[in-house]
Amino acid sequence: MIVHHLGLALGGRPAAAFADRLMVPVSNDTLLRTVRRRSAEHHEELTVIGIDDFAFRRGQRYGTIVCDLERRRPVTLLADREQDTSRTWLARHPSISIVARDRGGGYGEAIAKALPHADQIADRWHLMENASRAFLDAVGKSMRQIRNAVGSTVIDPKLLTYAERLQYEGFLRRQETNEAILGLSKQGVPIKQIVKRTGYSRKLVRSVVRGQRSDVFRVRQSSLENWLPWLDGRWQQGARNASALWREMCQKGFRGRSGVVSEWARRRRLAEKANQNALARTPSARSIARLMTLARDDLSRSDAVLVAAIESNVPDLAIARTVVADFQQMIKAKAVGKLEGWLQCADASLVASFANGIRKDIDAVRKYPFGVGRLPVIGGLG
CATH of the domain at 114: 3.30.420.10
Does a structural domain hold residue 149?
no
In a domain, 333, yes or no: no
Q: Is residue 111 located within the same domain as residue 220?
A: no
- 150-168: average pLDDT: 63
Domain count, the chain: 3
User: Is the confidence at residue 274, as pLDDT, over 60?
Assistant: no
Predicted confidence (pLDDT) at residue 373 exceeds the cutoff of 60:
no
Residue 279 has pLDDT above 50, yes or no: no
Q: Please report the pLDDT score of residue 370 as a whole number.
A: 39
Tell me, yes or no, whether 28 and 88 share the same domain: no
Q: Residue 120: beta bridge partners?
A: 99
36 with 53, same domain? no
* In a domain? residue 320: no
Task: Give the domain-ending residue among 285, 303, 338.
Answer: 285
Which of 45-54, 198-207, 229-238, 260-269 ranks highest by mean pLDDT?
45-54
Burial environment of residue 63 by CB neighbours within 10 A (0 to 12, 13 to 18, 19 or more):
middle
Please count the other Cβ atoms lying within 10 Å of the Cβ belonging to residue 378: 25
Given 285, 307, 326, which residue is the final one in a domain?
285
Average pLDDT, the chain: 80
84-117 exposure pattern, b = at least 16 Cβ within 10 A, e = fewer: eebbebbeebeebebbbbbbeebbbebbeebbee
221, 252: one domain: yes
30 & 60 share domain: no
Whether residue 63 is found in the same domain as residue 31: no
Number of alpha carbons in the 13 Å side-chain half-sphere of residue 254:
23
Give yes or no: residues 160 and 260 share one domain. Answer: yes
Q: Which amino acid is at 275?
A: N
Burial-class residue 182 by CB neighbours within 10 Å (0-12, 13-18, 19+).
Answer: middle
Please check whether residues 17 and 104 belong to one and the same domain.
no
Determine the structural domain holding residue 208 and report its residue range.
155-285
Beta bridge partners of 98: 48, 119
Flag whether 314 is in a domain: no
Same domain flag for 29 and 104 = no
Domain termination site, one of 250, 285, 320? 285
Q: Is the dihedral of CA 351, 352, 353, 359 positive or negative?
A: positive
pLDDT at 350: 92
| Residue 179 located in a structural domain | yes
Residue 131 belongs to some domain of the structure? no
Residues 6 or more apart whose CB falls under 8 angstroms from that of 314 comprise: 142, 145, 146, 149
For residues 168 and 255, state if they share a domain: yes
CA-based nearest residue to 111, from 123, 126, 101: 101
Asked whether residue 56 falls in the same domain as residue 111, the answer is: yes
Closest CA to 110 of 137, 133, 80, 139: 80
d(C-alpha 308, C-alpha 300), whole Å = 12
- Residue 83 counted as domain residue: yes
Percent with pLDDT over 70 in the chain: 82
Q: The pTM is what?
A: 0.60
Looking at residue 277, the DSSP 8-state letter turns out to be S
Within this chain, do residues 179 and 277 fall inside the same structural domain, yes or no? yes
Span 16-41, pLDDT tens digits = 888 888 888 888 888 888 877 766 55
Residue 35 included in any domain: yes
